[in-house]
Amino acid sequence: MSRLPSNSLAYALREAARIDAAVFAGQSLADGLLSRVDSGARPAVQDLVYGSLRACGRGDFLLSRLLERPLAVDEVRALLLVALYRLETRPDAVHTVVDQAVSAAGDILRGKFRGLVNGVLRSFLRRQDELLAALADDPVASAQHPAWWLSRLQAAYPAQWPAIVAAGNQPPPMGLRVNRQRVARDVYGERLAAAGIVARAVGEDGLALGQPVPVDRLPGFFAGDVSVQDPGAQRAAELLAPAAGSRVLDACAAPGGKTAHLLERNALDLLALDLKPARCRRISDGLARLHLTAEVKAADCTRLDHWWDGRSFDAVLADVPCTASGVVRRNPDAKWLRREADIASFAGAQRRILDALWQVLRPGGKLLYATCSVFPEENGLQIGRFLAEQLQARRLHEEQLLPDVDHDGFYYCLLEKHA
Protein backbone atom coordinates (compact mmCIF):
# COMPACT_ATOMS: atom_id res chain seq x y z
CA MET A 1 0.00 0.00 0.00
CA SER A 2 1.42 3.38 -1.02
CA ARG A 3 2.11 5.92 1.73
CA LEU A 4 1.76 8.82 -0.71
CA PRO A 5 -1.28 11.15 -0.65
CA SER A 6 -3.77 9.75 -3.18
CA ASN A 7 -4.40 13.21 -4.64
CA SER A 8 -0.73 13.76 -5.50
CA LEU A 9 1.07 13.29 -8.80
CA ALA A 10 3.61 11.20 -6.89
CA TYR A 11 0.86 8.71 -6.02
CA ALA A 12 -0.32 8.57 -9.64
CA LEU A 13 3.23 8.00 -10.88
CA ARG A 14 3.89 5.33 -8.24
CA GLU A 15 0.66 3.43 -8.96
CA ALA A 16 1.17 3.65 -12.72
CA ALA A 17 4.66 2.22 -12.24
CA ARG A 18 3.25 -0.65 -10.15
CA ILE A 19 0.76 -1.50 -12.90
CA ASP A 20 3.30 -1.21 -15.73
CA ALA A 21 5.68 -3.49 -13.82
CA ALA A 22 2.88 -6.06 -13.47
CA VAL A 23 2.32 -5.92 -17.23
CA PHE A 24 6.05 -6.44 -17.88
CA ALA A 25 5.81 -9.47 -15.58
CA GLY A 26 3.07 -10.96 -17.77
CA GLN A 27 -0.20 -9.69 -16.30
CA SER A 28 -2.91 -8.08 -18.42
CA LEU A 29 -4.70 -4.80 -17.78
CA ALA A 30 -7.89 -6.84 -18.16
CA ASP A 31 -6.98 -8.63 -14.91
CA GLY A 32 -8.16 -5.62 -12.89
CA LEU A 33 -4.77 -4.04 -12.24
CA LEU A 34 -6.38 -0.62 -11.83
CA SER A 35 -8.82 -1.83 -9.17
CA ARG A 36 -6.36 -1.27 -6.30
CA VAL A 37 -5.95 2.38 -7.19
CA ASP A 38 -7.83 5.00 -5.17
CA SER A 39 -11.01 5.74 -7.12
CA GLY A 40 -10.39 9.48 -7.16
CA ALA A 41 -6.93 9.02 -8.68
CA ARG A 42 -7.92 6.26 -11.12
CA PRO A 43 -8.42 8.47 -14.23
CA ALA A 44 -4.98 10.07 -13.80
CA VAL A 45 -3.30 6.72 -13.17
CA GLN A 46 -5.04 5.14 -16.16
CA ASP A 47 -3.86 7.96 -18.41
CA LEU A 48 -0.27 7.42 -17.26
CA VAL A 49 -0.49 3.64 -17.64
CA TYR A 50 -1.99 3.65 -21.11
CA GLY A 51 0.23 6.46 -22.36
CA SER A 52 3.46 4.99 -21.03
CA LEU A 53 2.64 1.52 -22.40
CA ARG A 54 1.89 2.95 -25.84
CA ALA A 55 5.25 4.76 -25.69
CA CYS A 56 7.16 1.90 -24.06
CA GLY A 57 9.45 1.28 -27.05
CA ARG A 58 10.34 4.96 -27.07
CA GLY A 59 10.92 5.02 -23.31
CA ASP A 60 13.13 1.94 -23.31
CA PHE A 61 15.27 3.47 -26.05
CA LEU A 62 15.76 6.59 -23.93
CA LEU A 63 16.63 4.55 -20.86
CA SER A 64 19.20 2.57 -22.83
CA ARG A 65 21.00 5.87 -23.44
CA LEU A 66 20.49 7.27 -19.94
CA LEU A 67 21.53 4.25 -17.86
CA GLU A 68 24.94 2.63 -17.71
CA ARG A 69 23.37 -0.83 -17.23
CA PRO A 70 19.84 -2.26 -17.16
CA LEU A 71 17.89 -1.86 -13.94
CA ALA A 72 17.44 -4.90 -11.73
CA VAL A 73 14.16 -3.67 -10.20
CA ASP A 74 11.20 -3.67 -12.61
CA GLU A 75 9.23 -1.06 -10.66
CA VAL A 76 12.08 1.44 -10.96
CA ARG A 77 12.29 0.90 -14.71
CA ALA A 78 8.52 1.28 -14.88
CA LEU A 79 8.59 4.48 -12.80
CA LEU A 80 11.19 5.98 -15.12
CA LEU A 81 9.15 5.03 -18.20
CA VAL A 82 6.05 6.64 -16.71
CA ALA A 83 7.97 9.75 -15.69
CA LEU A 84 9.61 10.11 -19.11
CA TYR A 85 6.17 9.86 -20.73
CA ARG A 86 4.88 12.56 -18.41
CA LEU A 87 7.88 14.82 -19.07
CA GLU A 88 7.35 14.59 -22.83
CA THR A 89 3.62 15.20 -22.68
CA ARG A 90 3.74 17.95 -20.03
CA PRO A 91 6.78 20.06 -20.91
CA ASP A 92 5.26 22.97 -19.01
CA ALA A 93 5.63 21.16 -15.69
CA VAL A 94 8.98 19.36 -15.91
CA HIS A 95 10.26 20.45 -12.51
CA THR A 96 7.09 19.29 -10.80
CA VAL A 97 7.25 15.97 -12.62
CA VAL A 98 10.86 15.34 -11.57
CA ASP A 99 10.12 16.30 -7.96
CA GLN A 100 7.04 14.06 -7.79
CA ALA A 101 8.82 11.15 -9.49
CA VAL A 102 11.57 11.36 -6.86
CA SER A 103 8.89 11.29 -4.15
CA ALA A 104 7.35 8.25 -5.83
CA ALA A 105 10.77 6.57 -5.85
CA GLY A 106 10.86 7.06 -2.09
CA ASP A 107 7.97 4.59 -1.91
CA ILE A 108 10.03 1.81 -3.57
CA LEU A 109 12.48 -0.30 -1.53
CA ARG A 110 12.85 2.27 1.30
CA GLY A 111 13.70 5.07 -1.12
CA LYS A 112 17.08 3.73 -2.21
CA PHE A 113 16.43 4.77 -5.84
CA ARG A 114 15.53 8.42 -5.25
CA GLY A 115 18.95 9.65 -6.37
CA LEU A 116 18.98 7.46 -9.46
CA VAL A 117 15.50 8.61 -10.56
CA ASN A 118 16.43 12.25 -10.00
CA GLY A 119 19.68 11.90 -11.95
CA VAL A 120 18.16 10.02 -14.91
CA LEU A 121 15.29 12.45 -15.37
CA ARG A 122 17.49 15.54 -15.09
CA SER A 123 19.94 13.99 -17.56
CA PHE A 124 17.07 13.45 -19.97
CA LEU A 125 16.06 17.10 -19.74
CA ARG A 126 19.64 18.22 -20.42
CA ARG A 127 20.14 15.83 -23.35
CA GLN A 128 16.61 15.82 -24.74
CA ASP A 129 17.38 17.22 -28.19
CA GLU A 130 20.29 14.82 -28.72
CA LEU A 131 18.31 11.80 -27.52
CA LEU A 132 15.22 12.54 -29.60
CA ALA A 133 17.34 13.00 -32.71
CA ALA A 134 18.88 9.56 -32.16
CA LEU A 135 15.47 8.07 -31.45
CA ALA A 136 14.18 9.11 -34.88
CA ASP A 137 16.74 6.81 -36.51
CA ASP A 138 15.69 3.74 -34.51
CA PRO A 139 12.70 1.97 -36.14
CA VAL A 140 11.43 0.22 -32.99
CA ALA A 141 11.76 3.31 -30.83
CA SER A 142 10.17 5.68 -33.33
CA ALA A 143 7.34 3.27 -34.23
CA GLN A 144 6.83 2.22 -30.57
CA HIS A 145 6.05 -1.38 -31.61
CA PRO A 146 8.14 -4.56 -31.21
CA ALA A 147 10.42 -5.37 -34.16
CA TRP A 148 8.61 -8.62 -35.04
CA TRP A 149 5.26 -6.80 -35.04
CA LEU A 150 6.57 -4.13 -37.40
CA SER A 151 8.03 -6.76 -39.72
CA ARG A 152 4.69 -8.52 -40.04
CA LEU A 153 2.79 -5.30 -40.64
CA GLN A 154 5.26 -4.25 -43.32
CA ALA A 155 4.94 -7.60 -45.10
CA ALA A 156 1.13 -7.65 -44.96
CA TYR A 157 0.49 -3.94 -45.61
CA PRO A 158 3.41 -2.42 -47.56
CA ALA A 159 1.57 0.86 -48.16
CA GLN A 160 -0.62 1.10 -45.06
CA TRP A 161 1.69 -0.05 -42.27
CA PRO A 162 2.83 3.46 -41.21
CA ALA A 163 -0.80 4.53 -40.77
CA ILE A 164 -1.58 1.36 -38.79
CA VAL A 165 1.37 2.02 -36.49
CA ALA A 166 0.45 5.69 -36.08
CA ALA A 167 -3.12 4.75 -35.18
CA GLY A 168 -1.88 2.20 -32.66
CA ASN A 169 0.10 4.87 -30.84
CA GLN A 170 -2.85 7.22 -30.36
CA PRO A 171 -5.61 7.21 -27.73
CA PRO A 172 -8.67 5.44 -29.16
CA PRO A 173 -11.79 7.25 -30.35
CA MET A 174 -15.02 6.76 -28.41
CA GLY A 175 -17.93 5.20 -30.24
CA LEU A 176 -21.50 4.66 -29.09
CA ARG A 177 -24.18 2.19 -30.12
CA VAL A 178 -27.73 3.46 -29.76
CA ASN A 179 -30.24 0.89 -28.52
CA ARG A 180 -32.83 1.04 -31.29
CA GLN A 181 -35.28 -0.83 -29.05
CA ARG A 182 -35.49 2.29 -26.88
CA VAL A 183 -34.61 5.35 -28.97
CA ALA A 184 -33.91 6.35 -32.57
CA ARG A 185 -30.30 7.25 -33.29
CA ASP A 186 -31.13 10.74 -34.59
CA VAL A 187 -33.21 11.47 -31.51
CA TYR A 188 -30.38 10.32 -29.27
CA GLY A 189 -27.94 12.47 -31.24
CA GLU A 190 -30.10 15.47 -30.43
CA ARG A 191 -29.96 14.57 -26.74
CA LEU A 192 -26.17 14.47 -26.93
CA ALA A 193 -26.10 17.86 -28.62
CA ALA A 194 -28.32 19.30 -25.88
CA ALA A 195 -25.81 17.95 -23.34
CA GLY A 196 -22.97 19.68 -25.18
CA ILE A 197 -21.50 16.46 -26.60
CA VAL A 198 -20.44 16.55 -30.25
CA ALA A 199 -21.18 13.38 -32.23
CA ARG A 200 -21.70 12.21 -35.80
CA ALA A 201 -23.45 9.16 -37.21
CA VAL A 202 -21.42 6.09 -38.22
CA GLY A 203 -22.74 2.76 -39.46
CA GLU A 204 -26.35 1.77 -38.89
CA ASP A 205 -26.66 2.32 -35.13
CA GLY A 206 -23.47 4.12 -34.16
CA LEU A 207 -22.26 7.56 -33.15
CA ALA A 208 -18.65 8.73 -33.06
CA LEU A 209 -17.90 11.29 -30.35
CA GLY A 210 -15.67 14.27 -30.98
CA GLN A 211 -14.06 13.69 -27.58
CA PRO A 212 -14.36 10.83 -25.07
CA VAL A 213 -16.62 11.50 -22.08
CA PRO A 214 -17.38 9.54 -18.89
CA VAL A 215 -20.40 7.27 -19.28
CA ASP A 216 -22.28 9.14 -16.55
CA ARG A 217 -22.40 12.12 -18.92
CA LEU A 218 -24.19 10.07 -21.59
CA PRO A 219 -27.94 10.70 -21.43
CA GLY A 220 -29.83 7.53 -20.59
CA PHE A 221 -26.75 5.31 -20.31
CA PHE A 222 -27.83 3.65 -17.07
CA ALA A 223 -31.39 3.32 -18.40
CA GLY A 224 -30.09 1.27 -21.35
CA ASP A 225 -30.47 3.81 -24.15
CA VAL A 226 -26.88 3.58 -25.33
CA SER A 227 -23.68 1.55 -24.98
CA VAL A 228 -20.01 2.25 -25.58
CA GLN A 229 -18.85 0.20 -28.57
CA ASP A 230 -16.37 0.85 -31.34
CA PRO A 231 -18.09 1.32 -34.73
CA GLY A 232 -15.88 -1.40 -36.18
CA ALA A 233 -17.20 -3.89 -33.63
CA GLN A 234 -20.75 -2.94 -34.60
CA ARG A 235 -20.16 -4.39 -38.07
CA ALA A 236 -20.64 -7.89 -36.63
CA ALA A 237 -24.38 -7.53 -36.06
CA GLU A 238 -24.79 -5.59 -39.30
CA LEU A 239 -23.15 -8.36 -41.34
CA LEU A 240 -24.66 -11.41 -39.64
CA ALA A 241 -28.12 -9.74 -39.56
CA PRO A 242 -30.21 -12.76 -38.45
CA ALA A 243 -33.93 -12.54 -39.16
CA ALA A 244 -36.42 -12.07 -36.32
CA GLY A 245 -37.07 -15.32 -34.49
CA SER A 246 -33.80 -16.94 -35.61
CA ARG A 247 -31.94 -19.35 -33.38
CA VAL A 248 -28.55 -17.68 -32.92
CA LEU A 249 -25.29 -18.65 -31.20
CA ASP A 250 -22.72 -16.12 -30.01
CA ALA A 251 -19.95 -18.57 -29.24
CA CYS A 252 -17.26 -16.36 -27.65
CA ALA A 253 -19.55 -13.68 -26.32
CA ALA A 254 -17.81 -11.75 -23.51
CA PRO A 255 -17.96 -8.90 -22.77
CA GLY A 256 -21.33 -9.02 -24.53
CA GLY A 257 -21.46 -5.98 -26.78
CA LYS A 258 -22.05 -7.93 -29.98
CA THR A 259 -24.62 -10.16 -28.22
CA ALA A 260 -26.55 -7.09 -27.14
CA HIS A 261 -26.36 -5.48 -30.57
CA LEU A 262 -27.84 -8.57 -32.21
CA LEU A 263 -30.74 -8.51 -29.75
CA GLU A 264 -31.30 -4.77 -30.16
CA ARG A 265 -31.77 -5.26 -33.88
CA ASN A 266 -34.21 -8.19 -33.72
CA ALA A 267 -36.02 -10.52 -31.33
CA LEU A 268 -33.91 -13.70 -31.35
CA ASP A 269 -33.61 -17.04 -29.62
CA LEU A 270 -29.98 -16.40 -28.66
CA LEU A 271 -27.48 -18.48 -26.73
CA ALA A 272 -24.34 -16.68 -25.55
CA LEU A 273 -21.35 -18.78 -24.49
CA ASP A 274 -18.10 -17.89 -22.81
CA LEU A 275 -15.44 -19.91 -21.03
CA LYS A 276 -15.44 -18.21 -17.63
CA PRO A 277 -18.42 -17.72 -15.28
CA ALA A 278 -17.18 -14.24 -14.30
CA ARG A 279 -17.27 -13.12 -17.92
CA CYS A 280 -20.72 -14.64 -18.32
CA ARG A 281 -21.93 -12.54 -15.39
CA ARG A 282 -20.63 -9.48 -17.19
CA ILE A 283 -22.67 -10.45 -20.27
CA SER A 284 -25.80 -10.91 -18.15
CA ASP A 285 -25.28 -7.59 -16.36
CA GLY A 286 -24.94 -5.78 -19.68
CA LEU A 287 -28.09 -7.37 -21.06
CA ALA A 288 -30.02 -6.45 -17.90
CA ARG A 289 -29.02 -2.78 -18.24
CA LEU A 290 -30.25 -2.81 -21.84
CA HIS A 291 -33.50 -4.64 -20.99
CA LEU A 292 -32.56 -7.59 -23.22
CA THR A 293 -32.84 -11.33 -22.70
CA ALA A 294 -30.69 -14.25 -23.81
CA GLU A 295 -29.55 -17.59 -22.45
CA VAL A 296 -26.01 -17.17 -21.12
CA LYS A 297 -23.90 -20.23 -20.38
CA ALA A 298 -20.31 -20.82 -19.27
CA ALA A 299 -18.87 -23.42 -21.63
CA ASP A 300 -16.03 -24.19 -24.03
CA CYS A 301 -17.66 -23.79 -27.43
CA THR A 302 -15.41 -26.50 -28.90
CA ARG A 303 -16.73 -29.09 -26.42
CA LEU A 304 -20.09 -29.65 -28.09
CA ASP A 305 -21.06 -32.45 -25.71
CA HIS A 306 -20.89 -29.99 -22.80
CA TRP A 307 -23.48 -27.51 -24.05
CA TRP A 308 -25.12 -28.34 -27.40
CA ASP A 309 -28.59 -29.91 -27.33
CA GLY A 310 -28.41 -31.07 -30.95
CA ARG A 311 -30.66 -28.35 -32.37
CA SER A 312 -28.97 -26.50 -35.24
CA PHE A 313 -28.52 -22.75 -35.32
CA ASP A 314 -29.68 -20.43 -38.09
CA ALA A 315 -26.76 -18.07 -37.46
CA VAL A 316 -23.48 -18.30 -35.56
CA LEU A 317 -21.15 -15.51 -34.50
CA ALA A 318 -17.59 -16.79 -34.03
CA ASP A 319 -15.80 -13.78 -32.52
CA VAL A 320 -12.68 -15.82 -31.84
CA PRO A 321 -9.80 -15.15 -29.43
CA CYS A 322 -6.90 -13.44 -31.22
CA THR A 323 -3.77 -11.35 -30.76
CA ALA A 324 -5.91 -8.16 -30.53
CA SER A 325 -3.43 -6.53 -32.90
CA GLY A 326 -6.22 -4.38 -34.36
CA VAL A 327 -7.20 -2.84 -31.01
CA VAL A 328 -3.75 -2.23 -29.59
CA ARG A 329 -4.41 1.47 -28.99
CA ARG A 330 -7.27 0.35 -26.70
CA ASN A 331 -5.15 -2.44 -25.16
CA PRO A 332 -1.59 -1.06 -25.19
CA ASP A 333 -0.30 -3.86 -22.98
CA ALA A 334 -0.85 -6.29 -25.88
CA LYS A 335 2.22 -4.97 -27.73
CA TRP A 336 4.46 -6.07 -24.87
CA LEU A 337 2.58 -9.17 -23.68
CA ARG A 338 2.35 -10.80 -27.10
CA ARG A 339 5.14 -12.85 -28.65
CA GLU A 340 5.47 -13.73 -32.33
CA ALA A 341 4.80 -17.39 -31.52
CA ASP A 342 1.40 -16.38 -30.11
CA ILE A 343 0.08 -15.89 -33.64
CA ALA A 344 0.39 -19.60 -34.44
CA SER A 345 -1.08 -20.48 -31.05
CA PHE A 346 -4.12 -18.28 -31.61
CA ALA A 347 -4.50 -19.56 -35.17
CA GLY A 348 -4.65 -23.12 -33.84
CA ALA A 349 -7.36 -22.22 -31.34
CA GLN A 350 -9.30 -20.33 -34.00
CA ARG A 351 -9.18 -23.35 -36.28
CA ARG A 352 -10.58 -25.61 -33.56
CA ILE A 353 -13.39 -23.17 -32.82
CA LEU A 354 -14.32 -22.70 -36.47
CA ASP A 355 -14.34 -26.43 -37.16
CA ALA A 356 -16.50 -27.12 -34.11
CA LEU A 357 -19.04 -24.37 -34.72
CA TRP A 358 -19.52 -25.37 -38.35
CA GLN A 359 -21.10 -28.57 -37.01
CA VAL A 360 -23.90 -26.74 -35.17
CA LEU A 361 -24.91 -24.54 -38.13
CA ARG A 362 -27.89 -25.72 -40.16
CA PRO A 363 -27.66 -26.10 -43.96
CA GLY A 364 -28.50 -22.70 -45.40
CA GLY A 365 -27.36 -20.99 -42.21
CA LYS A 366 -24.69 -18.30 -41.91
CA LEU A 367 -21.57 -18.08 -39.78
CA LEU A 368 -19.68 -14.85 -39.23
CA TYR A 369 -15.99 -15.34 -38.42
CA ALA A 370 -14.63 -12.27 -36.64
CA THR A 371 -11.35 -11.13 -35.10
CA CYS A 372 -9.94 -7.85 -33.81
CA SER A 373 -6.63 -8.67 -35.51
CA VAL A 374 -4.79 -7.32 -38.53
CA PHE A 375 -2.47 -10.31 -38.95
CA PRO A 376 -3.41 -12.39 -42.04
CA GLU A 377 -2.63 -15.71 -40.33
CA GLU A 378 -5.63 -15.12 -38.07
CA ASN A 379 -7.85 -13.76 -40.82
CA GLY A 380 -7.78 -14.37 -44.57
CA LEU A 381 -5.29 -17.23 -44.38
CA GLN A 382 -7.40 -18.92 -41.73
CA ILE A 383 -10.51 -18.66 -43.87
CA GLY A 384 -8.63 -19.84 -46.97
CA ARG A 385 -7.65 -23.00 -45.11
CA PHE A 386 -11.22 -23.54 -43.93
CA LEU A 387 -12.74 -23.10 -47.40
CA ALA A 388 -10.26 -25.56 -48.87
CA GLU A 389 -11.35 -28.21 -46.36
CA GLN A 390 -15.08 -27.51 -46.07
CA LEU A 391 -16.70 -27.95 -49.47
CA GLN A 392 -20.08 -26.98 -48.01
CA ALA A 393 -18.79 -23.50 -47.17
CA ARG A 394 -19.27 -20.48 -49.42
CA ARG A 395 -17.80 -17.05 -48.72
CA LEU A 396 -20.48 -14.36 -48.99
CA HIS A 397 -18.57 -11.31 -47.76
CA GLU A 398 -15.10 -10.49 -46.43
CA GLU A 399 -13.62 -7.27 -45.10
CA GLN A 400 -10.50 -6.20 -43.26
CA LEU A 401 -10.92 -2.96 -41.32
CA LEU A 402 -7.65 -1.24 -40.48
CA PRO A 403 -7.56 1.11 -37.48
CA ASP A 404 -8.25 4.74 -38.35
CA VAL A 405 -9.96 7.80 -36.88
CA ASP A 406 -13.37 6.12 -37.02
CA HIS A 407 -12.79 2.58 -35.81
CA ASP A 408 -10.36 -0.06 -34.58
CA GLY A 409 -9.00 -2.92 -36.69
CA PHE A 410 -11.33 -5.89 -37.35
CA TYR A 411 -11.66 -8.77 -39.78
CA TYR A 412 -14.97 -10.28 -40.83
CA CYS A 413 -15.86 -13.14 -43.14
CA LEU A 414 -19.49 -14.19 -43.63
CA LEU A 415 -19.87 -17.84 -44.63
CA GLU A 416 -22.92 -19.77 -45.80
CA LYS A 417 -23.39 -23.52 -45.35
CA HIS A 418 -24.76 -25.45 -48.31
CA ALA A 419 -26.62 -28.72 -48.04
Residue 343: other Cβ atoms inside 10 A: 21
What's the burial of 303, exposed, middle or buried (CB within 10 Å: 0-12/13-18/19+)? exposed
Whether the CA torsion 102, 103, 107, 111 is positive or negative: it is: positive
Task: Tell me which of 252, 280, 372, 413 is the catalytic residue.
Answer: 372
**Are the C-beta atoms of residues 356 and 336 closer than 8 Å to each other?**
no
Alpha helices in 35-177 (DSSP H): 42-54, 56-66, 74-89, 94-105, 114-135, 139-143, 147-156, 161-168
**Are the C-beta atoms of residues 28 and 333 closer than 8 Å to each other?**
yes
CA–CA dist 167, 145 (Å, integer): 12
**Are the C-beta atoms of residues 317 and 336 closer than 8 Å to each other?**
no
State yes or no: is 372 an active-site residue: yes
Q: What is the spatial order of strands in the sheet that 410-417 belongs to?
A: 295-298, 269-274, 247-250, 313-319, 361-371, 410-417, 393-401
Amino acid present at 12 = A
**Are the C-beta atoms of residues 288 and 339 closer than 8 Å to each other?**
no
Which positions are annotated as active-site residues?
372
